Amino acid sequence: VTATPVTADVTEANAFARRIAGYKDRVERVLERALSLPDPGTDRLGEAMRYSVLGAGKRLRPTLVYLTGEALGAPLPQLDGPAAAVELIHVYSLVHDDLPAMDDDDLRRGRPTCHRAYDEATAILVGDALQALAFAVLAEESPSGPSAQLRLEMIRVLAAATGTSGMAGGQAVDLAAVGRKLPETAIEDMHRRKTGALIRGSVVLGALAAGVSGGPEFAGLERFGAEIGLAFQIQDDILDVEGDPAVLGKSTGADAAHAKPTYPSTVGLERARLRARELRDTAIGALAPLGHRGAALVQLANFIVNRAS
């Protein structure tokens, strides 16, 4: 880190914020298109899917796809499919995790959760249909873009990040951990699956969509994604303790109320903050093979551990 005048920092931060906002708008349009289903089964199902996906959310995962892909020189349209796919998987997991049988949450992204706004059966189907849609979007025919081989690899990566080795497995560990005290390594493993796998997957998909599937850049990005994914979840745990519900758009204190072991509850807030910064530094270090092309990902890594929502 070199010393730069404060005004330059501010200008740079503003430019980065505009870039992120641009990705957010862009993926919103892609999602809107993907959810203009010719045949949603029932109006209620189609509506509930749109309600759950559109109009809110940080869109961190699509942003990672776009930032990574652009860093490697991919044109934006080539990144739209994977950007939408990772967000669809993310939203499906939120809808299912919020169900009464799971975390039983009433509020999400500042609005009633899907099963509250609609009903439980619809929320189960919304999640199921969003998962199928994610794979459909990724497998879509496209005249340009990565080869069929690379697209199959993208589907393998997304499936692995979604299933037992990733998100679903992590949620199972999470549920099993309720009311128990876990060692720090077990909490890390849980977080790496539950949240980390899809964040890592988003970075990997961005690389694959840019045609990069091996070599030091790819390895560095994989590592970056894995470390930043864990840092993100630790910051999430911290915000659940000390965040502002109005800024977060969801209630805080949920982890404690559910007797869920978290990073702060296991090692304390101070050590949790330290660990998040440590992981950010490792993540940034892993970007070395990209040289100056990694600059925007560095900014995102800083944003992830400094965010208030």
Which residues of the chain form contacts with its own copies (CB under 8 A)?
A: 37-42, 44-46, 49, 92, 96, 99, 101-102, 119-122, 124-125, 127-129, 131-133, 135-136, 139-141, 147-149, 151-152, 155-156, 158-160, 162-165, 168-173, 175-176, 193
CB of 279 to its own copies, least distance (A): 21
124/295 with CB nearer its own copies: 124
**Residue 292 CB burial class (10 angstroms; 0-12, 13-18, ≥19):** exposed
CB of 151 to its own copies, least distance (A): 6
Can you give the three-state secondary structure of 5-66, one letter per residue? CHHHHHHHHHHHHHHHHHHHHHHHHHHHHHCCCCCCCCHHHHHHHHHHHCCCCCCHHHHHHH
CB of 221 to its own copies, least distance (A): 21
Identify each DSSP E strand in the chain by its residue range: 107-108, 111-112
What are the tokens at 44?
Answer: 């209620």
CB of 53 to its own copies, least distance (A): 13
24/258 with CB nearer its own copies: 258
CB of 19 to its own copies, least distance (A): 31
The span from the CA of 109 to the CA of 222, in Å, is 28
81/264 with CB nearer its own copies: 81
What are the tokens at 256?
Answer: 């404690």
207/239 with CB nearer its own copies: 207
Residues whose CB falls within 8 Å of the CB of residue 1, separated by 6 or more in sequence, listed in order: none
CB-CB contact of 70 with 126 (8 Å): no
176/274 with CB nearer its own copies: 176
What phi, psi does 238 have (nearest 5°)?
Answer: -65, -45
78/171 with CB nearer its own copies: 171
CB of 169 to its own copies, least distance (A): 3
Centre a 10 Å sphere on the Cβ of residue 209 and count the other Cβ atoms it contains: 27
16/135 with CB nearer its own copies: 135
What phi, psi does 192 have (nearest 5°)?
Answer: -65, -35
- Under DSSP, the state recorded for 2 is -
CB of 172 to its own copies, least distance (A): 4
